[in-house]
Amino acid sequence: MSESIDVDAPTLSRYVMTKTRDTDLVILMSALATSFKLITSAVNRAGVAKLYGLAGEVNSTGDDQKKLDVMSNDMMINALVNSGVCSVLVSEENEEPIFVPENKAGKFCVAFDPLDGSSNIDCNVSVGTIFSVYEKAPGSKGTVDDLLKSGAHCVCAGYCAYSSAVELVFTFRGGSVEGFCLDPTIGEFVHTRLNMQFPADGGKKIFSCNEGNYNYWDKPIQDAVQEFKKGDKPYSARYVGSMVADIHRTLLYGGIYIYPADNKNKEGKLRCLYEGIPMAMIIEQAGGIASTGLFKGKVGRVLELTPDDIHCKCPIIMGGPRDIGIVYESYKANG
């Protein structure tokens, strides 16, 4: 029998069912996986189906919406509302939260960026979906307060990268980080990366940031980035401009990813609830560090932030001790 045919495929649903007896969580993960497959199909067919370009609307943060943004958002909302296990949905593409009708409501609240990296859509560069999941407080009918909690309350977080392959990476609270590839021949996510770990030695010497913003950064961040470029063997610069792709590479290869606060954007650019917290949970549960850098008077963890608005932003500095240490040293040196 051919070795490439797996008669015992370790699928996503099998993994989830072995990790939890919570059937609502099994249903939720299945609904999320369905939406990722639908988004994959739209992204793959974007050229032939004429899905590139603007939809003519702006989203919650004032960005122009692309046709694929809108479509991916609808795919996620439809899958999650009809799963019967969600009460509140927060999407980057919707200014207001979405409340699931009572007859379909369940215990989860999900925040997501349906298609992150929109600026890369039309030139066929990797994009991704990012999500975080919370549970309603006992007795709550489902309000935004069920989501406006620190990362310590996040029960599941992950991302799906749409690239040369489609990869889903997620973690349950307190658990390991696991990776699944979409096998197009069976239409299922298959477990391909077990217990993903941030490289213990810091991994490849890579820094990833939008250096075009250099003049807006504060001095400690400027100095740290200069430090990465010093010496005979300077770090390599790698920046896709799609957070999912940049974080996926950072998790697999190591290095540091930086989107700091700056003079123009005092809170950074990335959204706390559906970009910062889920990625921080992945990086930390894989053994890395997810810091805000200096933010609101202190240097803290992204997972300690409590969002005060569903679309609020936070600075993000993620990597291992070797490289985050260089940023911390720079804060010390600059007083």
Instruction: Return the number of the residue (11 or 73) whose C-beta is nearest Mg ion.
Output: 73
> Rounded to whole angstroms, what are the CA distances from 304 to 70, 280, 298?
31, 10, 12
Q: What DSSP element (H or E) covers 189?
A: strand 188-193
242 binds ligand AHM (CB under 6 A): yes
Residue with tokens 């993620």: 318
184 binds ligand AHM (CB under 6 A): no
CB of 120 to ligand AHM, least distance (A): 8
- The pattern of x and - marking residues 97 through 126 that bind Mg ion according to CB under 5 A reads ----------------x--x----------
Which of 93, 113, 227, 323 binds ligand AHM (CB under 6 A)? It is 113
146 binds Mg ion (CB under 5 A): no
Instruction: Return the number of the residue (111 or 289) whose C-beta is nearest Mg ion.
Output: 111
Instruction: Return the number of the residue (159 or 235) whose C-beta is nearest ligand AHM.
Output: 159
263 binds ligand AHM (CB under 6 A): no
Cα–Cα distance, 156 to 283 (Å, whole number): 13
Report the 10 Å Cβ neighbour count for 190: 19
> Rounded to whole angstroms, what are the CA distances from 157 to 32, 163, 247, 274, 315?
11, 20, 14, 9, 18
Asked whether the beta carbons of 255 and 207 are under 8 A apart, the reply is yes
Q: Which does 241 bind (CB under 5 to 8 A by kind): Mg ion, ligand AHM, none?
A: ligand AHM
**Token representation of residue 132:** 């975080």
Asked whether the beta carbons of 253 and 204 are under 8 A apart, the reply is yes
Question: How are beta strands 256-259 and 316-319 bridged, if at all?
Answer: antiparallel
**161 SS3 class:** strand
Cα–Cα distance, 32 to 328 (Å, whole number): 37
Which of 93, 110, 116, 262 binds ligand AHM (CB under 6 A)? It is 116
Cα–Cα distance, 20 to 24 (Å, whole number): 10
Residues designated catalytic: 63, 69, 92-93, 113, 115-116, 275
Cα–Cα distance, 112 to 73 (Å, whole number): 9
Distance of CA 67 to the CA centre of its chain: 21
How buried is 304 (Cβ within 10 angstroms: 0-12 exposed, 13-18 middle, 19+ buried)?
Answer: middle
Segment interacting with ligand AHM (CB under 6 A) among 9-17, 133-141, 193-201, 240-248: 240-248
Q: Which does 313 bind (CB under 5 to 8 A by kind): ligand AHM, Mg ion, none?
A: none
Q: Which does 132 bind (CB under 5 to 8 A by kind): Mg ion, ligand AHM, none?
A: none
Instruction: Return the number of the residue (87 or 291) whose C-beta is nearest ligand AHM.
Output: 291
CB of 47 to ligand AHM, least distance (A): 20
Instruction: Return the number of the residue (107 or 249) whose C-beta is nearest ligand AHM.
Output: 249
**Token representation of residue 302:** 């992204």
Phi and psi, residue 86, nearest 5°: -120, 150
Which of 269, 289, 290, 311 binds ligand AHM (CB under 6 A)? It is 269
CB hemisphere CA count around 4 (13 angstroms): 3
241 binds ligand AHM (CB under 6 A): yes
50-89: contacts with ligand AHM (CB under 6 A): 63
210 binds ligand AHM (CB under 6 A): yes
Instruction: Return the number of the residue (7 or 123) whose C-beta is nearest ligand AHM.
Output: 123
Applying CB under 5 A, the residues found at the interface with Mg ion are: 92, 113, 116
Applying CB under 6 A, the residues found at the interface with ligand AHM are: 63, 92, 113, 116-119, 210, 241-243, 246, 269
